Amino acid sequence: MRRNLSILFAIIAWFAVLTQYYLMIENRVVSIGETTIRFFSFFTILTNSLVAIYFTLILFKIKSGFLAIINKPGTLTAITVYITIVALVYQIILRHIWQPTGLQMVVDELLHTLIPIMVIIYWYLYKNNSLATYKQIPKWLIYPAIYLLYILIRGKFSDFYPYPFVDVGNLGLSKVLINSVLLISLFVGLSAIFISVERRLQNK
């Protein structure tokens, strides 16, 4: 069952990410190189790519080496937290600011709704393999912290910010820093919730 789910989820995740790249290239207003950089400047894309890679690697049953991190305690929970953040931020903050149609609408729902739900379901079914602890939360924050730092530094030189709540040009640095602190707090809180739920379910 787990293998079949991993195959299905990997296919869906790769389809969504690659199709989104195709759509961005087709509708680009800057060079292919710049469009590609912007594509990988979205937390949604990076995290869905991480999901696709995770489910792909699960199929190979890697036992040693760097890639064996997918089997380490807490990895599944961390990925679940990341993709849940993608869903929450989109549904609460971003959904109302644009109305995609056609294939873009399909991909949009896959990236922000269906795939997060799939990962949460997978986490629920196989959480016993995760065994996350509260002490791991600071390590989980490295990814979003580096991401925020990257988009703020690059945005200063390129004037491109992937999300309106980190747009220093429109909001000012102080407001963006406040938003960043709130986002990090959301990561911490959601991480604690998932770990807490995981422990309670394991004790049943």
Give the burial string for 40-72 (b: 16+ CB within 10 Å, else e): ebbbbbbbbbbbbbbbbbbeeeeeeeeeeebbe
Task: Please state, in angstroms and rounded to a whole number, the distance separating the CA atoms of residues 160 and 156.
Answer: 8
Helix (H, G, I), strand (E, B) or coil at 173: helix
The model's pTM is 0.93
Contacts of residue 140, Cβ cutoff 8 Å, sequence gap at least 6: 74, 78, 81, 187, 191
Per-residue pLDDT of the chain (204 residues; tens, 9 = 90+): 888 899 999 999 999 999 999 999 999 999 999 999 999 999 999 999 999 999 998 888 776 666 667 778 889 999 999 999 999 999 999 999 988 999 999 999 999 999 999 999 999 988 765 678 899 999 999 999 999 999 999 999 999 999 999 999 999 999 999 999 999 999 999 999 999 988 887 765
Please report which residue ranges of the chain form alpha helices under DSSP H. 2-26, 32-39, 43-60, 75-89, 102-109, 115-126, 137-140, 142-158, 168-171, 173-202
Beta carbons within 10 angstroms of residue 199's beta carbon = 14
pLDDT at residue 50, rounded to an integer: 96
Listed by start position, the domains of the chain span: 2-202
